[in-house]
Amino acid sequence: MHIYNLGSLFLATMDIGLAVGLICVAVVLGIIIGGLLGRFIYQKITDKKLGTVEERTRKMIDDAAVECKTLKKDAILEAKEQELKLRNEFEKESNEKKKELSKLEQRLQSREDNLDKREDSLLKKNDEIEKQKKDLQNKEQEIKRTQEKINHQHDLMVQELEKVAQLTKDEAKQLLTNEILDETRRDVAIQVRNIEQTAKDEATTEAKKIISLAIQRCASDHTSEITVSVVPLPSDDMKARIIGREGRNIRALENATGIELIVDDTPEVVIVSGFDPIRREVARLTLERLIADGRIHPARIEETVEKVKKELDQEIKAAGESAMFEVGIFGLHPELIKLIGRLKYRTSYGQNVYNHSIEVAQLAGLMASELGLDVNLAKRAGLLHDIGKAVDHEQEGTHVQLGADLAKKYKENANVVNAIAAHHGDVEPKTVEAVLVAAADAISGARPGARRETGTNYVKRLEKLESIASSFNGVEKSYAIQAGREVRVMVKPEQIDDAQAMFLAKDIAKKIEAELEYPGQIKVNVIRESRAVEYAK
Q: Are 488 and 525 in contact (CB under 8 A)?
A: yes
CA atoms of 526 and 501, how far apart (whole Å):
6
- Mind listing the pLDDT tens digit for each residue in 491-515? 988 888 888 888 889 999 999 988 8
Work out whether the CA dihedral 59, 60, 61, 63 comes out positive or negative.
positive
SS3 152: helix
* First vs last C-alpha separation in the chain: 219
Q: Which helix (H) or strand (E) holds 149?
A: helix 2-165
When the pLDDT of each residue in the chain is averaged and rounded to a whole number, the result is 80
- Does pLDDT of 360 surpass 80? yes
- Does pLDDT of 39 surpass 70? yes
SS3 488: strand
Position 442 scores a pLDDT of 82
Burial call 271-307: b when 16+ CB within 10 Å, e when fewer: ebebebbbbbbbbbbbbeebbeeeebeeebbeebbee
Position 16 scores a pLDDT of 66
Q: 450 pLDDT band (50/70/90 cuts)?
A: very low
Q: 113 pLDDT band (50/70/90 cuts)?
A: confident
Q: How far is Cα of residue 398 from the mean position of the Cα atoms in its chain?
A: 32
Question: Strand 486-491 to strand 523-527: parallel, antiparallel, or no bridges (unpaired)?
Answer: parallel
- Mind listing the pLDDT tens digit for each residue in 15-31? 566 767 678 777 878 78
Tell me the average pLDDT across 143-170: 77
Question: Of 114 and 38, which is predicted with more confidence?
Answer: 114
CA atoms of 9 and 23, how far apart (whole Å):
21
Position 169 scores a pLDDT of 65
SS3 184: helix
- Does pLDDT of 318 surpass 80? yes
Tell me the average pLDDT across 46-60: 72
In this structure, of 36-45, 121-130, 207-216, 311-320, the range with the lowest mean pLDDT score is 207-216
Question: Of 86 and 455, which is predicted with more confidence?
Answer: 86
In this structure, of 33-37, 58-62, 242-246, the range with the lowest mean pLDDT score is 33-37
Q: 380 pLDDT band (50/70/90 cuts)?
A: very high
| CATH of region 228-446 | 1.10.3210
SS3 260: strand
Q: 418 pLDDT band (50/70/90 cuts)?
A: very high
CA atoms of 236 and 291, how far apart (whole Å):
12
Q: 2 pLDDT band (50/70/90 cuts)?
A: very low
- Does pLDDT of 516 surpass 50? yes
Domain limits of the chain?
Answer: 172-217, 228-446, 459-527
- Mind listing the pLDDT tens digit for each residue in 64-89? 888 888 888 888 888 888 888 888 88
- Does pLDDT of 47 surpass 70? no
Rg of the chain on CA atoms, in Å: 63
With a pLDDT cut of 70, the percent of the chain lying above it is: 85
List, in order, residues 6 or more apart from 279 with CB less than 8 Å away. 257, 258, 259
- Does pLDDT of 218 surpass 60? no
CATH class label, 459-527: alpha beta
Q: Which residues pair with 487 in a beta bridge?
A: 480, 524
Q: 215 pLDDT band (50/70/90 cuts)?
A: low
- Mind listing the pLDDT tens digit for each residue in 247-293? 888 888 888 888 788 887 777 788 887 777 788 888 888 888 888 88
Question: Of 8 and 487, which is predicted with more confidence?
Answer: 487
* Residue 479: φ, ψ to 5°: -135, 130
Question: Of 148 and 199, which is predicted with more confidence?
Answer: 148
Position 399 scores a pLDDT of 85
CA atoms of 457 and 205, how far apart (whole Å):
34
Position 4 scores a pLDDT of 44
Q: Which residues pair with 478 in a beta bridge?
A: 489
pTM of the predicted model, to two decimals? 0.46
Position 482 scores a pLDDT of 65
